[in-house]
Amino acid sequence: MNLLGIDIGGTKTAVCIGHADGKILYSKRIPTTSESVEAYRHQLIELCHHVVEKANLRPEDLDGIGISAPGPLDCKRGVLIAPPNNPGWKDVPIQAMVQKTFKAPVFVNNDANACALAELLFGAYRGVRSLVYLTFSTGMGGGIIVNGQLIQGVTDTGGEVGHHVLDPEGPLCGCGQRGCWEAYVGGRNVAEQLKAKIKAGNISTSIVNKAGGLDKINLQAFEAAAREGDRFALAEWDIFTDRLAQGVGNLIMILNPEVILMGTIGIHAGDFVMGPILDKLPKYAWEWPRRACKVVPSSLGGKIGELSALAVAATGLKPSGG
């Protein structure tokens, strides 16, 4: 089967040709312009044709097309409702835009769900019946597989684990709720809370230098400072990983899955983030479901974007489950 995968990220769009076993034949990226939707559509379709050609295929050789895109989106209608990094875009009918040009069926899902499907089909734990994929960037996202199938949810918001509430009196989340998991561990919120503490306490910490300024603080600088033993960063890292553990524990108690995979920070921070989570997990999950669940970094690393789009195509053509 020849699959076309389109991974629409906040800054880059990757298009690839691959097979249902996750083999990528050819892949290319362009910037995700935030200007006119029409200009983007034009570039995207051109790139699709280019990638098909480079793989020595014709458009009619495609069996299916998968699109992985940031939420919120309407998967049934294939519409990007309001991509967070493209403020000009609203209700973009991405599926129809691509379907107009290609005969092969086009499937759409949000990026975190698509990554969970990629882990299920192509990852180190492929073949398990249940897994959770977690990703941490500006915000945080999740995709959940149980009984071999995605929890898509009745309004396509299944797996929005970043907005389950860890403490009703916690910090305000970008979504308007208070104390969401994302409000504690999402990149934007962590950075803002660190900034506020540093300012209020006039604290000297190497996080600021690592980031290149107080206003540029991000998860990477936070991690780097904590790794070097910066006292403030280490204390905050302890709080940060404790909240990561609470959310992971909650998912273990509710879903009792075989694997929980952490993308982004799970990959680049490795043991430095996974170690403390595992240490703290006994506070948040019973022994037998906890021991039965592997909590590990994502197994697909940098390739997960392209693979997630291929997984959406493969799953659309052949829904798993049963």
Q: Which residues bind a copy of itself (CB under 8 A)?
A: 129-130, 142, 144, 146-147, 149, 151-161, 163-168, 175, 177-178, 242, 246, 249-251, 253-258, 283-284, 286, 288-289, 292-293, 321-322
State the minimum distance, in angstroms, from the CB of residue 113 to a copy of itself.
11
State the minimum distance, in angstroms, from the CB of residue 110 to a copy of itself.
12
Cα–Cα dist 242/236, whole Å: 10
Cα–Cα dist 195/200, whole Å: 8
State the minimum distance, in angstroms, from the CB of residue 77 to a copy of itself.
14
Residues facing residue 69 across a β-bridge: 110
Looking at the Cβ atoms of 43 and 256, the one nearer to a copy of itself is 256
Cα–Cα dist 197/151, whole Å: 38
Looking at the Cβ atoms of 232 and 284, the one nearer to a copy of itself is 284
Looking at the Cβ atoms of 105 and 158, the one nearer to a copy of itself is 158
Looking at the Cβ atoms of 66 and 162, the one nearer to a copy of itself is 162
Is residue 312 exposed (0-12), middle (13-18) or buried (19+ Cβ within 10 Å)? buried
State the minimum distance, in angstroms, from the CB of residue 150 to a copy of itself.
8
* β-bridge pairing 79-80 and 64-69: unpaired
* Three-class DSSP category at 182: helix
Looking at the Cβ atoms of 193 and 256, the one nearer to a copy of itself is 256
State the minimum distance, in angstroms, from the CB of residue 57 to a copy of itself.
32
Looking at the Cβ atoms of 63 and 74, the one nearer to a copy of itself is 74
With contact defined as beta carbons under 8 Å apart, do 26 and 62 qualify?
no
State the minimum distance, in angstroms, from the CB of residue 176 to a copy of itself.
8
Report the candidate in 245, 226, 242 with the shortest Cα–Cα distance to residue 234.
226
Largest pairwise CA distance in the chain: 63
Single-letter code of the amino acid located at 224: A
